[in-house]
């Protein structure tokens, strides 16, 4: 029997993702990717160019459908990718997430969302495509306390929405991965402080630090594709931003003075106020030696909590789950708010 060749398909480990700002002079032209493009190490992705078959639903006299009346419907780029992040990655992605350019090291969203469109080149080993004119539909940051587990590293999940997919070729001279240390944040670098509304005076003292076991911060831009009378996306609009912060922490009554007693101020009393979630190199000997000025400080404005009853679901510690939404406030009138719901100061040094 003759020996037959074996065929090996694309393998995920050889995936590469590059990013470039979209071409604004010719919005129908994909961006040019080269050795200066942004390159990221991703954990997974599910970006896709959707497709549907329309028509062919009428009665044919049989129980089967016929193919001759079907057509391909409108298509849109959707999906997400996940990466581990530190200050280096955030410096590039925060303007796209907030839809607003940075002011020095501070990233805050404007009252109106700027898409800050970008193109993604995805090389899936043997096939390479470009996803054109994408925007950040939502960004979620999370980390979990563990010993030895990878989930303690801060992960960023970016959901995108875009216009089209184009077949392409990976650059002959692609951008190189970094050769210097640019370490990611882990949960142990984090610090959570809450400042209550002065009218309630809780929690006390002001800016009380709270220990926590996990967190999730989601910035949802609620992007919606607009097609008009075309077969593909012609515009992308935001239907309103929503910022949600969640965390799990010890549930106690104040006997543990180090955590301030979470029962009354954070569960019973409907906490409202401001919060600061900081990631600081000073909390780690490893980071302090390599990057002594690394920091990412997330300011959450006008938080309102949704109470979730703590439950004993097993013999271990009973957690208190925080569920809070941040809001825009300030200004001369309620109709003229000036303080954004979230502001992030990110220092890469």
DSSP assignments along 191-257, one per residue? EEEEEE-TTT--SSSTTEEE--SEEEEEEE--EEEE-SSSSB--EEEE---EEEEEEEEE---SSSG
Residue 247's domain spans which residues?
Answer: 14-56+69-170+182-347
Integer CA distances (angstroms), 98 to 93, 138, 179, 245, 278, in order: 9, 10, 29, 16, 18
Q: Let me know if residue 266 belongs to a domain.
A: yes
Q: Is the dihedral angle over the CA atoms 230, 235, 239, 242 positive or is it negative?
A: positive
Q: Let me know if residue 145 belongs to a domain.
A: yes
CA geometry: angle 170, 176, 178, nearest 5 deg: 145
Q: DSSP state, 312? A: -
Q: Return per-residue pLDDT of the chain as tens, 349 residues.
A: 567 777 789 999 999 999 999 998 876 889 999 999 999 999 999 999 998 899 988 998 999 988 988 999 999 999 999 999 999 999 999 999 999 999 999 999 988 889 999 999 999 999 999 999 999 999 999 999 999 899 999 999 999 999 999 999 999 999 998 888 888 999 999 999 988 765 554 444 556 789 999 999 999 999 999 999 998 899 999 999 999 999 999 998 865 545 568 888 888 888 888 999 999 999 999 888 988 999 999 999 999 999 899 999 999 999 999 999 999 987 666 666 789 999 999 999 8
Q: Is the dihedral angle over the CA atoms 174, 177, 178, 184 positive or is it negative?
A: positive
**Counted domains in the chain:** 1
Q: Is the pTM higher than 0.85?
A: yes
Q: Let me know if residue 29 belongs to a domain.
A: yes
Q: Let me know if residue 302 belongs to a domain.
A: yes
Q: Let me know if residue 256 belongs to a domain.
A: yes
| Residue 83 to residue 18: CA distance in whole angstroms | 13
| Residue 178 to residue 274: CA distance in whole angstroms | 37
Q: Let me know if residue 64 belongs to a domain.
A: no
Q: What are the phi and psi torsion angles at 88 (to 5°)? A: -60, -50
| Residue 60 to residue 65: CA distance in whole angstroms | 7
The residue among 340, 97, 118, 79 whose CA lies nearest residue 221 is 97
Integer CA distances (angstroms), 73 to 50, 51, 55, 273, 307, in order: 9, 7, 9, 47, 44
Q: What's the pLDDT at 263? A: 84
Q: Let me know if residue 259 belongs to a domain.
A: yes
Q: Is 125 helix (H, G, I), strand (E, B) or coil?
A: coil
Q: Residue 332: which residues within 8 A CB-CB, separation 6 or more?
A: none
Q: What's the pLDDT at 208? A: 78
Q: What's the pLDDT at 198? A: 53
The number of helices, as runs of H, and strands, as runs of E, in the chain is 2, 22
Q: Let me know if residue 149 belongs to a domain.
A: yes
Q: Residue 134: which residues within 8 A CB-CB, separation 6 or more?
A: 22, 77, 117, 118, 119, 120, 160, 161, 162, 163
- Specify which residues 118 forms β-bridges with: 21, 134
Q: What's the pLDDT at 256? A: 52
Is the distance from CB of 144 to CB of 319 less than 8 angstroms?
Answer: no
Q: Is 265 helix (H, G, I), strand (E, B) or coil?
A: helix
Q: Two tokens at 133? A: 């004119």
Q: Is 113 helix (H, G, I), strand (E, B) or coil?
A: coil
Q: Is 175 helix (H, G, I), strand (E, B) or coil?
A: coil
Residue 64, class by beta-carbon neighbours within 10 Å (0-12 exposed, 13-18 middle, 19+ buried)?
A: exposed
């Amino acid at each position: 029997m003759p020996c037959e060749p074996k065929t090996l398909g694309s393998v995920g480990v050889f995936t590469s993702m590059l990013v470039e700002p979209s071409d604004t002079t010719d919005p129908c032209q994909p961006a040019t990717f080269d050795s200066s493009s942004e390159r990221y190490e991703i954990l997974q992705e599910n970006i896709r160019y959707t497709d549907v078959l329309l028509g062919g639903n009428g009665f044919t006299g049989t129980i089967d459908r016929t193919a001759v009346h079907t057509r391909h419907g409108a298509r849109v780029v959707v999906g997400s990718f996940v990466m581990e992040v530190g200050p280096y990655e955030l410096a590039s992605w925060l303007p796209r997430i907030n839809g607003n350019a940075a002011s020095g090291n501070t990233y805050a969203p404007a009252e109106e969302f700027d898409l800050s469109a970008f193109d993604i080149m995805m090389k899936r080993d043997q096939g390479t495509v470009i996803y054109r004119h994408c925007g950040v539909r939502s960004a979620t940051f999370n980390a979990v306390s563990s010993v030895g587990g990878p989930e303690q590293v801060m992960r960023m999940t970016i959901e995108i929405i875009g216009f089209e997919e184009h077949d392409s070729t990976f650059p002959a001279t692609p951008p190189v991965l970094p050769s210097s240390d640019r370490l990611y944040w882990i949960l142990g670098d984090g610090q959570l402080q809450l400042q209550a509304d002065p009218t309630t005076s809780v929690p006390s003292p002001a800016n009380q630090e709270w220990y926590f076991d996990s967190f999730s911060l989601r910035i949802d831009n609620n992007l919606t594709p607009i097609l008009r009378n075309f077969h593909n996306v012609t515009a992308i609009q935001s239907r309103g931003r929503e910022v949600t912060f969640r965390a799990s922490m010890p549930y106690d009554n104040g006997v543990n003075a180090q955590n301030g007693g979470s029962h009354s101020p954070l569960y019973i009393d409907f906490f409202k106020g401001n919060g600061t979630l900081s990631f600081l190199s000073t909390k780690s000997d490893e980071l302090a030696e390599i990057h002594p000025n690394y920091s990412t400080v997330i300011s959450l404005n006008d938080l309102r909590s949704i109470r979730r009853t703590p439950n004993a679901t097993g013999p271990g510690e009973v957690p208190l789950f925080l569920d809070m939404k941040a809001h825009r406030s300030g200004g001369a009138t309620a109709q003229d708010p000036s303080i954004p719901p979230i502001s992030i100061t990110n220092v890469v040094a």
